[in-house]
Amino acid sequence: MFSFLLHFFLGWIAGTALQLQQATLWLAWVNLAGVFSSAVLLVTFIRCWHRLTLPVFLQCALVLVISAATAFFCCAFRAQVFLEKQIAPRLEGQVLQVVGRVTAMPQRMQENIRFRFAVQSAQLASGELVELPPQVMLGWYVNTVTNGPTPTDLQAGDMWKFSVKLKAPHGHINPHGFDYELWLWEQGLQATGYVRNGPKDNQPELIARSWQHPIERCRQWVRQRVYAQVGDQQGAGVVVALLLGDQAAIERADWDVFRATGVAHLMAISGLHITALAWLVARCVGWIWRRSDKWSKASWCLVLPAQQASWLAALLTAVAYSVFTGWAIPAQRTVWMLGAVLALRMSGWRWPAYQVLLFAATVVLIADPWAFLQAGFWLSFMAVSILFVGSQSFQFLPTLIREQFLMSVCMAPISLLFFHQVSLVGFFANLLAVPWVTCVVTPLSMLGLLIPLAWNLASWAITGLGICLSWVASLSWAQWSAPAAPLWMGLLSIAGMFVFAMPVAWWWRLSGALCIWPVLNWQTPRPSAGEFELIGADMGQGHAVLVRTSNKSLLYDTGPRYSPETDAGQRVLVPLLVALGERLDRVVISHQDSDHSGGANSVLKMQPQADVLTSIPSNHLLRTTHPMQTCTAGQQWQWDGVYFSVLHPQQADYVKKLKPNALSCVLRIESASGKSALLVGDIEATQENQLVQAG
Ligand SMILES: [Zn+2]
């Protein structure tokens, strides 16, 4: 029995992994046939494996292959069914009249909102009825010109009629960047778009309010109450995030501090939160259950043993809490994991820990195969494994400190592998923040549901913590970053950390710790002397190009600003620069248009040593944030045998008050071997002709 299940789990995980590596799906009927035949094989095997006289290793191999094939085809088939409903290309960018329901609490971004919308019917301007994906993500931006309904009127459960423009999910394809498309896919969203509310559009129209989606409605009501009760928006945002799992409520500056100090995991409803709460409830229920004979006629234990009652209570708590916090993917994952482990315990089977983990991983992948591609999936399984492996070591440390130590030190290489960054102050910050948030702020936030005044206390408590953390984050050595190393180095360092966490002799531990050395010292290969390399980042609109020579780096333009909270600098360039381990020497911001200068602040904040060359006028707001030089034709420099020269604009062009596009700094780069590149910003035909004439 044992080895059958073990190989089934391994096979399932491998089959899912293999399918997710496929660039394209196989034909629909092939996948369907695959699902059918592998399922038949699996059932046949389960029914007759007792009678098989094959050697054990062959049996194991057989289970492994059949299980892998089943997972492989099931995953493909699910993807295919999902893709059946994708948005037809001809409908992208068209104005559509849609009627449908708001299915979740809208996310607020200042006055604007973003929300999930279940489409019930859609038609083109011509009146033709069209088919849309069942769930889409819509943005609604305030328009002060028209006086239709405003985004704040929108509530979960409402039925609305909108005029919208949609497009298929599209994320930026940058190495080491956030995979927005994958995120949308996992959420079941097959189109994104925005509500049109210009003067010429049909204004949004509320058709009916309803009590459908009552939980989401209730969450939204609680959020309004918190904001009304707590005057301070910043503090209220954190309370809302802790209580409702609405991470968009936390302001970006706060996120920066939380990330730098390694406590960001506390602010999201993580597996840790859910498990901790479930554990607490289990302890209380168990305690009450065992003493039930004191206040009831018969002990409840006769009906259900205390231990089972507490496990059941734990699972129910986890489900309830996850649902109330928005049933996000990481929370679902935790519920599946917890459910798998508790079911196992209730059944009375004693499995070794690694098999329990593999079982939990299989359950998670059956529920959501795409979790395999998420850092969160790996982080949670690694964290649990490390805690398990390390539970017998470092016995001289008190439990809380030991667990913190294991989490901060042993998870560091894993964090480096996924995020290329690790918080050096995280250990101390967590020692302070974990008990404070878990034992003071979160309970106060929950108490606020009964006594709203508690939300004010929670907000003060978080503000106090914020002051301490900001100070810690401002230390220059708070964060350590290392460029993305090759996979084998990452795997080696993870293996090393497991050895380090195990209760083994010190020389084993030392050698385990030494396995991180290659990762810490890795440097991304650079061009040889006299050569240069261009890296163009994908950022939708506008552009940014990284120029690297053997020792120096230049960034040409910084991409667009997406919204008041996000820009390409923060979303794309900073992660890319961290992953490459770049230290910029110079930034050229070709001109002031926001699709070229939008990310400048984020980039310069992270790379304060870089000098800046730009055509932005000296009275522009951006010039107050960082010292900048004006670019003029004739400026030139040489780095590692590569020649850089500014060809445009002329000194006289600045006096002529040309359009920003026409003033773009034009940079020519030439390698020692004569290869050259021209970066031109947004110059137009007139300037291009001037350049051609100048030769
Ligand atoms: Zn422009």
Q: Residue 181 burial by CB count (10 A; 0-12/13-18/19+): exposed, middle or buried?
A: middle
Copy the structure tokens of residue 632: 């003029």
Which portions of the chain are predicted below pLDDT 70? 1-2, 269, 695
CA of 658 to the centre of ligand 1 (A): 12
- The secondary structure of residue 424, as a DSSP letter, is T
CA of 682 to the centre of ligand 1 (A): 5
Residues within 5 Å of ion ligand 1 by Cβ?
593, 661, 682
CA of 539 to the centre of ligand 1 (A): 15
Return the C-alpha torsion angle 99, 100, 105, 111, nearest 10.
Answer: -10
pLDDT at position 331 is 84
Rounded distance between C-alpha atoms, residue 181 and residue 560, angstroms: 19
- Architecture per CATH, 89-212: Beta Barrel (2.40)
CA of 695 to the centre of ligand 1 (A): 24
CB 519 within 8 A of CB 493: yes
The reply to whether omega before 649 is within 30° of 0 (cis) is yes
Residue 365 amino acid letter: L
CA of 591 to the centre of ligand 1 (A): 7
CA geometry: angle at 653 spanning 648 and 655, to 5°?
150
CA of 681 to the centre of ligand 1 (A): 7
pLDDT at position 548 is 96
Rounded distance between C-alpha atoms, residue 445 and residue 255, angstroms: 19
CA of 677 to the centre of ligand 1 (A): 20
pLDDT at position 516 is 86
CA of 659 to the centre of ligand 1 (A): 9
Residue 309: CB partners within 8 Å, gap ≥ 6? Answer: 285, 286, 289, 300
CA of 191 to the centre of ligand 1 (A): 29
- Prediction pTM value: 0.83
| Parallel/antiparallel/unpaired status of strands 666-670 and 642-648 | antiparallel
Rounded distance between C-alpha atoms, residue 249 and residue 301, angstroms: 44
pLDDT at position 541 is 77
CA of 44 to the centre of ligand 1 (A): 65
pLDDT at position 56 is 80
CA of 665 to the centre of ligand 1 (A): 11
- The secondary structure of residue 666, as a DSSP letter, is E
CB 172 within 8 A of CB 164: no
CA of 590 to the centre of ligand 1 (A): 9
Beta bridge partners of 308: none
CA of 180 to the centre of ligand 1 (A): 26
pLDDT at position 2 is 54
CA of 674 to the centre of ligand 1 (A): 29
pLDDT at position 1 is 54
CA of 686 to the centre of ligand 1 (A): 15
CATH 3.40.50.2000 is the classification of domain 533-694: no
The domain segmentation of the chain, as residue ranges, is 2-83, 89-212, 263-366, 487-520, 533-694
